[in-house]
Amino acid sequence: MSTMTAAPQLTLRSASGTQEDLRELFLSWQHDRDARARDALVRRFMPLARSLARRYGRSSEPFEDLLQVASLGLLKALDRYDADRGHSFASFAVPTILGEMRRYFRDSGWAIHVPRGAQERALKVRDAQERLANERGRAPTVNQLAEYLEFDTEDVVDALQAIQAYETLSLDAPRPGVDGDVISYGDSVGSDDERYELVELDVTLTSVLRHIPPRERLILRMRFVDDLTQTEIAERVGISQMQVSRLLRRSLEQLRTLTQAAS
Amino acid sequence: MSDPVDRSRSMAEIPNLCLTLQNRPENVLVVRQALTGVADSLALNAIETNDLNTAVTEACNNVVLHAYGGEEGPLEVDIYALANAIAVVVRDDGEGMEPLPDEDGAADSEITSGLGLPVMHALASNVEIKGRAGGGTEVRMEFEAPNASVLELRDGKQRDSSIYQEGQPTGTVALMLAPNALVRSVLPRVLSALAARAYFSTDRISDVQIVADVLAAKSVDSISGSHLEVGVTVAPRNLALRLGPLHVGKGESLLSAAADGLAPVIERLTDERHRIASTDGSTETLELRLIERQH
C-alpha cells in the first residue's frame, strides 16, 4: 500500500529513437539552439500535444484550433525544459500544454460565456432533431442524431440539456421553416391562436394556472390533459419538439413555485 | 513518500453524491453528466467545469481500462462538498493503475500513454492515490470551488446504497444524492444520459427529464433518510427507476403530484408505478418504469 502525492515521472519512448537519442536531441536544442533538433523533438512529441488537446478540449472548440494551442504549449515546454535536471520531458510538458489551453479558453471568454462550440452544437442538434422528425414522422433517438450529425452521443446528450438554458434559443431566434424559409418562433405561434382558441372559461383552470402565459398553458394541456406527445404538440403549435420540452419544464417549474407560494 | 492520508477528516465527511456503476466505457458519460450537474449547482464556470470533467474522466478511464484486467467490476465515484473545494473520490476493487511506461518501449503512440496521472495532477488542486485494504485503488482529487459550502452536509449517512444492494440486475446504476439542490441539477442529467442509452427518442428523453424534475422537487419532503437513493436499470426502450427511502405514504403523494388543473404528471409520463414497503414497514420505495412508446 502506498501513498503518492507527487506527479510520477514518465519515461520517454519512441519508435525512431532510444532514450539516448532523445537526450542528445534535447542537449543540442538546449545548448546549441540547433533548430533541426527542435524540429525533431516537436515531431516526436506532437502525439502528446494531440492527445492532450483531445482529452482537455473534447469537442468544445474546433479541434484544429485547439491542436494549434496545444502545439504552442509544446514549444514553450521545449524552450523551458532542462534535460540536465532529470525530469522526464512528458511529465514536465503536460502542465505547460494544459496551461496553454486553459489560457486560450480564458481569453476566449469561456469563464463568462457558454463556449461557442457548445452553443453551435446545441443549435445543430435542435435543427437536426426537427429535420429527422419531419422526414421520418417520429422523434429520433440520440444515437440517430449523433450518427446524422457525426457527433459523439455525449455531445448530443449535452445539447439536449443545454437547449433548456440557452437564451439564443429564445422565441426570436430564427429557424428554418419546413420549406426552407426562415421564420421566427413568434410568427408560427401567432397563427396557432386561430386554430386553438385559448379561452379562459375552463372550469379546471385554477388561479395558479392563470399565471402561466396562454401558449404555455395550451402546451401543458395538450401534454397532460389531452395526452399528446411532445412531437405531436410541436407539429400543432409550429415550434420544435425541443422548444416544447423547454416550455413544459419551465412552466411546470413555475407552477411548482406558484403553488408553493400560494400555500 | 509523503505523510499518510488523514483518514479522520474524511471519515467525518458526508458524501453529497455517490455513484456506483460497472466499469464500462459508456458509464464514463454518466459520471461526466453527474459532474456537470454538480458544477452547475456550484456555479462553476466552463473552464473549472472542464478541468473537473477532464481530471475525473482520466481517473474513470483508468478504472475502465486497467483496474480489472479486461473484466467487469464496480466503478465508484463519490463527491464531497468541503468549505471551499469539492473532493472527488474514484474507487475500484481491481488490480491497480495504468502501468507506467517501461524503459524499452517501442511505439511513438506510447508517448501518449501514462498521461492520466500527470493530467490529474495538473488540473486538480490536490491528488492522493492509495491502495485499499483488500485490493483496489482510490484516487482522491480536490478542486477549488468557492461556493462549495452551500452543499456541505453536517450529518447524514456514508456511502451505503440500500437501493443498490437489494439484488438489482447487473448494470444497475446506483446514485445517492443530497441536498435537494444537488438532486435538482444532477438527477435530470443522469437520467437523460441513461434514457439516451436505452434508445429513447428525444421526445421521451424530455419526458424523463420532466419526471426527474418532479421527483427532485417532491422528494425534498418525502425521503426518510439524509439522501435520495436512486437505482436505474437500463434495457432497450425501457428504463426502470427505484427511489427511496421514502416516508410511508409519501410514495402515493409523489405519484399523485399534480400541477394544479392538470392530470398527475408522473402518472401521465410513466408506464408502470409500484410502491414497495420495506421489510420492517418503516419506509417505502417507489418503482417507476418508462418505456419508449413510439415505433
Strand positions, DSSP E, chain B: 17-22, 74-81, 85-92, 126-131, 137-144, 173-177, 228-235, 238-247, 272-277, 283-291
**Residue span of the structural domain in which A54 resides:** 19-107
Show the cell assigned to A178. 419546413
B190 & B70 share domain: no
User: Considering only alpha carbons, which residue of chain B is nearest residue A96?
Assistant: B122
Angle between helices A116-136 and A230-237 (to 10 degrees): 90
Alpha-carbon distance of B196 to B188, in angstroms, equals 12
Is the minimum CB–CB distance between A228 and chain B shorter than 8 Å? no
Q: Is the model's pTM score more than 0.95?
A: no
DSSP bridge pairs for B78: B18, B89
- Whether B236 has its CB under 8 Å from any CB of chain A: the answer is no
CATH number of the domain residue A30 falls in: 1.10.1740
B128, B188: one domain: no
Work out the minimum CA distance from B237 to partner chain A, whole angstroms. 10
Domain count, chain A: 3
Show residues of chain A in contact with B29, CB under 8 Å: 153-154, 157
Residue-wise pLDDT for A61-111, tens only, equals 778 889 999 999 999 999 999 888 877 888 899 999 999 999 999 888 877
- A129 and B202: CB-CB below 8 Å? yes
The residue with greater pLDDT, B257 or A224, is: A224
As a whole number, mean pLDDT of residues B80-88 equals 94
User: Is B126 in the same domain as B93?
Assistant: yes
Residues B264, B186: one domain? yes
Q: Is B199 exposed, middle or buried (0-12, 13-18, 19+ CB in 10 A)?
A: middle
Residue A3 belongs to some domain of the structure:
no
Domain total in chain B:
2
Q: Model ipTM? A: 0.85
Q: Binning pLDDT at 50, 70 and 90, where does residue A112 land?
A: confident
Tell whether B192 is within 8 A of chain A (Cβ). Answer: yes
Render pLDDT for B23-32 as a digit per residue (tens, 0 to 9): 999 999 999 9
Helix (H, G, I), strand (E, B) or coil at A217: helix
- When CB atoms are compared, the residue of B1, B103, B108 closest to A3 is B1
Residue A197 lies in a domain: yes
Residue B170 is assigned to a structural domain of this protein: no
Of A95, A202, A252, the CB nearest to B259: A252
Q: What are the chain A neighbours of B213 within 8 Å (beta carbons)?
A: 249, 252-253
Give the 3-state secondary structure percentages of chain B, helix then strand then coil, rounded to 5.
40, 25, 35
Do A128 and A195 reside in the same domain of the chain?
no
> Could you tell me the CATH number of the domain that includes residue A127?
1.10.10.10
Tens of pLDDT, residues B153-163? 877 777 765 55
Q: Is residue A12 part of a domain?
A: no
Examine residue A2 and state whether it is found in any structural domain, yes or no.
no
A146 part of a folded domain: yes
Is the Cβ of A80 closer than 8 Å to some Cβ of chain B?
A: no
If you average pLDDT over residues B242-268, what whole number do you get?
Answer: 81
Task: State the average pLDDT over residues B221-234.
Answer: 91
Chain A contact for B83 (CB, 8 A cutoff):
no
Number of continuous H segments (helices) and E segments (strands) in chain B: 9, 10
Stretch B64-71: mean pLDDT: 87
Determine what percent of chain B is predicted with pLDDT higher than 70: 83
Q: Residue B226: what residue type?
A: S
Say yes or no to pLDDT of A168 above 80: no
What is the rounded distance in angstroms from the CA atom of residue A215 to the CA atom of residue A231? 16
Which tens digits make up the pLDDT trace of A28-68?
Answer: 998 888 899 999 999 999 999 999 999 998 666 778 889 99
Task: Indicate yes or no: CB of A259 within 8 angstroms of CB of B259.
Answer: yes
Helix, strand, coil % over all residues of chain A, rounded to 5 = 65, 5, 30
Q: Do residue B108 and residue B38 come from a single domain?
A: yes
Per-residue pLDDT, B162: 55
Structural domain contains residue B1: no
Residue B97 is predicted with a pLDDT of 62
Residue B225 lies in a domain: yes
> B271: domain range?
180-295
> Domain with B56 in it: what CATH number?
3.30.565.10
With CA atoms as reference, the chain A residue closest to B265 would be A224
Return the residue matching grid coordinates 455525449. Answer: A154
